[in-house]
Amino acid sequence: MYKLRLAGLINDSITDGAGLRLTVFAQGCHRRCEGCHNPTAQPFEGGKVYTVDEIVEKVKANPLLSGVTFSGGEPFEQAEAYTALAKEVKKLGLNVCVFSGYTFEVLITKPEWLALLEQADILIDGEFILAERNILLKFRGSANQRILDVPKSLAQGKAIWSTSPKWV
């Protein structure tokens, strides 16, 4: 049974992706971006441990959800458990969005990261750069970050921006 160490969960989020979402915040991140939006999620200790099944039950309890967002911390630091969660979310017919400080180009280099990426519909990638902060950007904190269509990106072997009006 897979377990995730989480900094928190937010039900009914409208700021972490298109539609009404459950946002799952990973506990732990090595990146330490200056101006990080979730600095309390950086340490790998702390937070609360949930099983994948416990999170799936929270998803099932809200029939209004259009998707689930993985944020952080850094979800790819717990890639195997997040992959298991993403598979269960997809079985429920919901979309999966993942925020990562790593870029698509880096994420495809590790098999365990690629496995999680293969379950995602949308990837918002790139580290937060304080000098490029822009509060007017949809679902992004800094101008260098991208909103990528993961299936198209994987099929073409390069980062492809989402063109969905819900995401851009």
Q: Model confidence over 118-151: pLDDT tens digits?
A: 999 999 999 999 999 999 999 999 999 999 999 9
Q: Give the model's confidence band at 37: pLDDT under 50 very low, under 70 low, under 90 confident, else very high.
A: confident
Is it the case that residue 52 has pLDDT exceeding 90? yes
With beta carbons less than 8 A apart as the criterion, state whether 21 and 68 touch: yes
Which value, to the nearest 10 degrees, does the dihedral of the CA atoms of residues 102, 147, 68, 77 take?
0
Concatenated DSSP letters of 72-100: SS-GGGGHHHHHHHHHHHHHTT-EEEEEE
Cα 1 to Cα 51, 79, 81, 122: the distances in Å are 7, 14, 9, 26
Q: Fold for domain 3-156?
A: TIM Barrel (3.20.20)
1: Cα within 13 Å, side-chain hemisphere: 9
Q: Which helix (H) or strand (E) holds 106?
A: helix 104-107
Residues 6 or more apart whose CB falls under 8 angstroms from that of 107 comprise 76, 100, 113, 114, 117, 123, 125
Name the residue with tokens 């990528």.
148
Rounded-to-integer distance, Cα 45 and Cα 8, Å: 13
* Domains in the chain: boundaries: 3-156
Q: Is the dihedral of CA 156, 93, 90, 124 positive or negative?
A: positive
Taking the whole predicted model, whether its pTM rises above 0.95 is answered as: yes
pLDDT class of 33 with cuts at 50, 70, 90: confident
What mean pLDDT is reported for the chain? Answer: 97
Q: Quick one: pLDDT at residue 162?
A: 98
pLDDT for residue 1 is more than 90 = no
